[in-house]
Amino acid sequence: MADQHDGSRVVALVPAAGRGVRLGESMPKAFVPIGGSSMLTLAVDGLIASGVVDHIVIMAPAELIGEAPVLLGIVETTGPVPVSVVSGGAERTDSVRAGIAAALNTPKTVSHFLVHDAARALTPPSLIERVVAELRAGQSAVVPGLPVADTIKTVDAHGDVTGTPDRSVLRAIQTPQGFEAQLLRDAYASGLHATDDAGLVERFGAHVRVIPGDPLAFKITTPLDLHLARTLLAERADAALTTGLPR
Ligand code: C5P
């Protein structure tokens, strides 16, 4: 754990209160099963497996708060990585704000926050470790990003193209996004708005560093993404079975 060797304390905030309308499933997205576990459980498992997170705060839909720990097979613990479940809000930013408040409502000091979408259920623990390593090396805001494969165009309200940004300088940003705790608190308290946490911190005037992302940290948004995630997990389960067989 982080706080056992350098005094830093990393709290992961997991927004999981979205409806997931684009996914077309009947339950809130984070609770949709993939290979026997929910997306949220897989995301939390990845955070724990990284070995660099000291506390996890899940922001769940209000009506599922009571059931969340059971549904997820998560026990709110006082163990090595305690997991808390709190109510999220109407917008993702409201959910993150609720998570920050819950994390700070404990006697222990928080040095860094990670904000990690439950919908990025297959994020490798190694990516989480790399984000925290950059924070420990002194960066105040760190986000993983991948080069974009498609050409991106800006368009107006009629669908007419207004520009084509140079693709080589674009990055598709993933999570976990990592921040010095005070910076994220101040950015959220500023009243500014942005579509992601790093965007908010940028508007607040802070420097954000992009490190190489990982294709497996893709966000499960559409039925095609869900199919890909389920296929990847089924392949992993098959591989584990095969390697477990006697020769
Ligand atoms: O909808 P989208 O895929 O962008 O959501 C990203 C993450 O934010 C998801 O894990 C979702 O559950 C979470 N979210 C939230 N509260 C909301 C909306 C989204 O925690 N009001």
Could you tell me the two tokens for 114? 């990670």
d(CA 13, CA 57): 5
In the prediction, which pLDDT does 245 show?
57
Q: Which amino acid is at 203?
A: R
Pocket test for ligand 1, best of 27, 117, 175, 222 (most atoms within 8 A of CB): 117
pLDDT of residue 247: 44
Question: 124 C-alpha vs ligand 1 centroid, how far in Å?
Answer: 20
Average pLDDT, the chain: 90
CATH fold for the domain made of 2-243: Spore Coat Polysaccharide Biosynthesis Protein SpsA; Chain A (3.90.550)
Section 2-14 average pLDDT: 78
Domain ranges of the chain: 2-243
pLDDT per residue over 37-84, tens digit each?
Answer: 899 999 999 999 999 999 999 999 988 887 766 666 665 555 678 899
pTM, whole model, 2 decimals? 0.92
Q: Are 184 and 100 in contact (CB under 8 A)?
A: yes
User: Nearest residue CA, atom 19 of ligand 1?
Assistant: 18
Report pLDDT for 28. Answer: 86
Q: 115: CA distance to ligand 1 center in Å?
A: 11
Q: Express each pLDDT in 152-162 by its tens digit.
A: 999 999 999 99
pLDDT per residue as tens digits for the range 175-218? 999 999 999 999 999 999 998 999 999 999 999 999 999 999 99
How many angstroms separate the first and last alpha carbons of the chain? 37
Residue 35 tokens read as 């290979």
pLDDT in the model for residue 75? 54
How crowded is the C-beta side of 86, counted as CA atoms within 13 Å?
20
> What is the whole-number distance in angstroms between the Cα of residue 31 and the centre of ligand 1?
12
Provide the token pair at 219: 């966000």
| pLDDT at 3 exceeding the cut of 60 | no
